[in-house]
Structure 1
Amino acid sequence: MKIIKPMLITTFIAAVLLLNPKTIQFITKAVGESGRQLTEVAKFSYGNTSNMKIMGFQNGIVIYNGRKISLLDKKGHKQGEAELRSNDYDMAVQNGRILFLDRVKRTLAVIEKNGKISKQIKFAEKPVFVEAIGKDRFIVHYVYDMNEKAEGMRIFNMSGKQIKDMQISNISINFISPDVKGQGFLVSGLTIEKERLYNSVMHYNINGDMETADKAENRVFTGGMLVDDKFVMWEEGYIELRDSELKYINSLRIDSGIVQLKREESGFTVLDGSSRIRRFNLDGIEIEQEKYAHRIYGVNEVAGTDLLNSQRSVEIMGTKESLNFTNDIIDAFKVGDDCLGLVFRGEIRIIAVD
């Protein structure tokens, strides 16, 4: 009986752990990632300029060099091209199409993947930036009175039809963050009231109707997102959790600074300045932590797998699978559903996750 009883207890504990949904999810992810491998499927060069931008989109890459936009597939083959000259611009991608905002000419061009400009929108006001918000819609932030600090946002569909125009007074918008499922978007803006600084936060549905709003004193949020039914917002070294009505729940201090914050199922992951990857639930409780000896610059989820990029390597998190390079990685971004794009000086490489 002395032997059987400990065995029964051990069996019971093992059964409880295995039946726990979080344990099952962790084991499934670990097993799935351990069988994955990284393969370089393409490598091609580009001409480097001071005014350029390189982005991933539906199944390829967009390169803008200040004179023209080139649209390439995953192998680097040109699919289309558009002549657009600008020294002050913003770009976004939406379902395989490019949104190109020229701040000086006050125009926005919708560019198809073959390079054809299908729609051009002109603004009387000064446009600031463009953000794709899902459901074939995008939003343009603009300023219409610099002296009165009056700003606004306009929602358009991809055909160029205006859905809604929202004007906001005495708030300086610092970011717009779309919901991952396309339900709406979060707007953050700064205002001063009676010599006090406030960060206003507002959540709108996809049609531009405000659903909830609140503000925080002496905060300058640099990012925010909706995870399930809660909001996660952050500034340097600080994370704040709020409920579906944007009411305060909890806050966290990240002493080494926040490099990246990534949405997860029922929580979020923080890459901090000490190259630790820390997972939290939506109550702000830390549930897992991994420390890396080398510096990690970013995390990208590709084909359901977390890829870590350091100065000269890419690795699958939690495994020994990696690819090493002789040159520094300048940028990394998702290309389609199953590839990672790596930008080096004068060269782009496409890495597939198999």
Structure 2
Amino acid sequence: MLDGARGRTGDPRAGRGEERGRPVRVLPSFGVPRPTTNPYIVMLAAALDAQDGVDLRRFTWRTALAGRYDVVHLHWPESLFAARSGTRRTLKRWAFLAWTVRLAVLRTPVVRTVHNVEHPRDVSRLESLGLRAVDRLTTARVVLNDVDAQVRTRVPTACVLHGHYRDWYAPHPRHDARPGSIAFVGLVRRYKGVEGLLAAFTETAREGPDLTLTIAGRPSSEALADAVRGAAARDPRVRARLGFLDDAALVQAVTSAQVVVLPYRHMHNSGAVLAALSLDRPVLVPDTAVNRALADEVGPGWVLTYDDELTGGDLLKAVAATRDRAPGARPDLSRRGWQEAGRAHLAVYRAALGRGRT
């Protein structure tokens, strides 16, 4: 495989975009977008396609193992192991390891966007080996917030803020916020603290009899679905809208709320927070360094935080703080345009090519 790669590309150090005027050929870890593809990936791909200096390929295993490209850009590399059958997953594991060998031998620069602080824990030993190999091969890191940019690592780090969703959701009609309405929107998973939100909301029954809580999204388990349905049966103020949300349904759920609450147990980079802000709805989130920085960035009154465990008092304060928001008010997302993100990524690719892998 490596001999074939050399035959197609010639000198491993040649053909990496150094030729003046030729776009940098970038192989990302995502393929052609599907209807269920993360909007972040779709918008990033569009931003890169719009850059004259980028020739963005689409991932296939054939291209990865035998194609021509100058830079690899990885997002959630563990997703490359996904398969419907055990046999296919095993084949992908070995293909991934073979790919890391090619990248090492040809000294192909690897750019890694750090979406999560840690590697996933639910991977096999072979998959973990592949992910550790990627860590060693990484030439440059892209982080999505200013806080992570301050962390010192062995490779250079560039901060390219997660872009907004304003253009993405623009085609869908918005709704007027219902006074006193609280919403959780997105995949309902245990780490997102939905059960804690339901318990905290129960505490508001005396002081907030007119409040409502909507849980909108697809549960990851029947146990979570039952917990939400049970809360709705006990408290008429709780509304369950369980199931997949397309973009129009998500816009309806978010914009109908006075405040969106996202009580994740471990929150770092959150597309859901930016989705709510892009739809001009304030959010209540855990007090973390990343969320405090976001609050400073977007302006007062948009990112509200709470300490430790979420309580009914936190919900009541959030509703009171967002009740008199001026009509037409919008958070400041001017640093999060996708055109700027495209240019910043191109700069990272060119810098990675200039350094090579050490």
Q: TM (normalized to structure 1)? A: 0.26
Structure richer in helix, relative to its length = 2
Q: What is the TM-score of this pair, normalised by structure 2?
A: 0.26
Higher relative contact order structure (alpha carbons within 8 Å, sequence separation ≥ 6):
2
